[in-house]
Amino acid sequence: MPASWLAARVVAATGGQVQLADPRGTIWNGSARLLLTGGAGSSDAAALPTRLTWRMRPGFGALHVALSSECCTPAPVSFDWRPGWRSASLRVADGSSQWPASLLGGLGTPWNTLQLDGELLLRTQSLSLEWTEGRMAVNGRAEMTAQRMASRVSTLRPLGSYRVAIAGGAVPTVQLSTLEGALQLSGNGQWVGSRLRFTGEASAAPDREAALANLLNIIGRRNGPRSIITIG
């Protein structure tokens, strides 16, 4: 089957938020321009600077997939996808990749307002996800380091560097922490079923309140000098 068949399935599965534009090749070996968008009716879109290449191979009830892009993957990002009637699983090979934060701007609100700049370094270790009748289980660990972040709503550059760590278990958890910078971020969350519930806060380092006031108003609900972030 041509790569365009795969591109159409990706659009349908993601509600149009992930698109494979200008697909070439086949579903087994192909490439395309990766676009993130705000979905149906949205004018927001952002593209990966280099083409995304994929290689897929079936075997032993699973589909082995390797993704690569010149800008972002020193080694291919590999995973095994095992579909089922009422369950499915995804097992990600250990590795690391680096992605432009500007890509998030295509997803619409609030990313299109923040217009982030910086690098997102993603590392995985023994990471697997399983879905059973709508419930998600996570094992292993994933860590994203947001390096030298900046935003168009603040003249302060860079804002800082941050870490988001996901740890699997009976109740998978998420932890946000600040590595360095004037914008201080922290928070904790957990997955309940397949939904993330997260509570965090943002604040400015001493003598940086004025430079970060607009950003703090956007990223959460103001409570004095802090901005409260809630998801779920």
User: What tokens does 67 get?
Assistant: 């993704």
Q: What pLDDT shows up at residue 109? A: 85
* Domain membership flag for residue 32: no
pLDDT(110) > 90:
no
Split into its structural domains, the chain has a count of 1
Find, among 120, 119, 140, 138, the residue nearest to 129 by Cα: 138
The residues near 152 (Cβ < 8 Å, ≥ 6 apart) are 114, 115, 117
Q: What pLDDT shows up at residue 194? A: 74
Q: What is the pTM of this model?
A: 0.90
* Domain membership flag for residue 22: no
pLDDT digits (tens, 9 = 90+) for 43-92: 899 999 999 999 999 988 899 999 999 999 999 999 999 988 888 999 99
Q: With cut-offs at 50, 70 and 90, classify the pLDDT of residue 212.
A: very high
Residue holding tokens 């399935």?
9
Residue 32 DSSP class: E
Question: What domain range includes position 198?
Answer: 84-231
pLDDT digits (tens, 9 = 90+) for 143-184: 999 999 999 999 999 999 999 999 998 889 999 999 999 999
Rg of the Cα atoms in the chain: 19
Q: How far apart are CA 17 and CA 227, in angstroms?
A: 28
| 21 touches 32 (CB < 8 A) | yes
* Domain membership flag for residue 15: no
Residue holding tokens 């494979």?
20
* Domain membership flag for residue 152: yes
* Domain membership flag for residue 123: yes
Does 109 or 223 have the greater pLDDT score?
223
Q: How far apart are CA 67 and CA 80, in angstroms?
A: 12
* Domain membership flag for residue 65: no
pLDDT digits (tens, 9 = 90+) for 5-42: 999 999 998 999 999 999 999 999 999 999 999 988 88
The residues near 187 (Cβ < 8 Å, ≥ 6 apart) are 174, 175, 176, 198, 199, 200, 201, 229
* Domain membership flag for residue 191: yes
* Domain membership flag for residue 202: yes
